[in-house]
């Protein structure tokens, strides 16, 4: 239901808005890749693989309309989550279903204490600077859609059916 609503809204974008969206999507993906590279510098993937997503136990609502717009804008097939597991529904056998540049904001900006302690001060400062830039880009994207994109798509649908 939420994906269909985002697809429908995306299909109605005017050419000028679509051009702005393209720029915003490129910037979002760039920032997400930068955050992933910072984590890679301290082997965050290995730490996360050992942990098996403890931080992701409530991740079902992390995918937002902005995240879906990035997929749609790139013409990519949207992943299918697996809600039968106790951890994040976007976590496969070995890693996330999504590439780093497509992961939700909460997923790419969260670093646990184990990882944060490994970052030297300049990298930690860089991480939080990139996170602020990414947050601003998400806010910009919200303006395309009447400021209702920050919540997870499933949360939006739950609110629309119950409220």
Q: What's the rounded Cα separation, in Å, for the pair 27 and 141?
A: 11
pLDDT value at residue 157:
41
pTM: 0.83
Q: Which alpha helices (H) appear in 12-147, and where do they start and end?
A: 15-40, 44-51, 65-73, 105-109, 113-116, 121-144
Distance of CA 97 to the CA centre of its chain: 12
How many helices (H) and strands (E) the chain has is answered by 8, 0
pLDDT value at residue 77:
86
pLDDT value at residue 116:
92
Please give the average pLDDT of every successive group of 10 residues along the chain, which has 163 residues.
Answer: 80 88 94 95 84 66 84 87 77 79 89 91 96 93 63 43 39
Sign (positive or negative) of CA dihedral 160, 135, 98, 43: negative
């Amino acid at each position: 239901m939420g994906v269909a609503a985002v697809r429908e809204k995306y299909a109605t974008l005017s050419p000028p808005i679509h051009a702005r969206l393209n720029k915003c999507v490129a910037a979002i993906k760039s920032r997400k890749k930068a955050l992933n590279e910072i984590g890679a510098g301290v082997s965050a993937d290995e730490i996360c693989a050992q942990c098996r997503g403890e931080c992701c136990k409530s991740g079902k609502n992390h995918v937002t309309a902005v995240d879906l717009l990035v997929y749609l804008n790139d013409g990519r097939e949207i992943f299918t989550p697996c809600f039968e597991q106790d951890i994040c529904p976007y976590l496969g056998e070995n890693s996330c279903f999504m590439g780093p540049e497509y992961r939700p904001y909460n997923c790419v900006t969260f670093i646990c204490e184990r990882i944060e302690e490994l970052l030297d001060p300049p990298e930690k400062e860089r991480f939080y600077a990139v996170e602020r830039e990414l947050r601003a880009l998400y806010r910009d994207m919200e303006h395309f859609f009447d400021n209702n994109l920050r919540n997870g798509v499933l949360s939006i649908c739950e609110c629309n059916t119950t409220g």
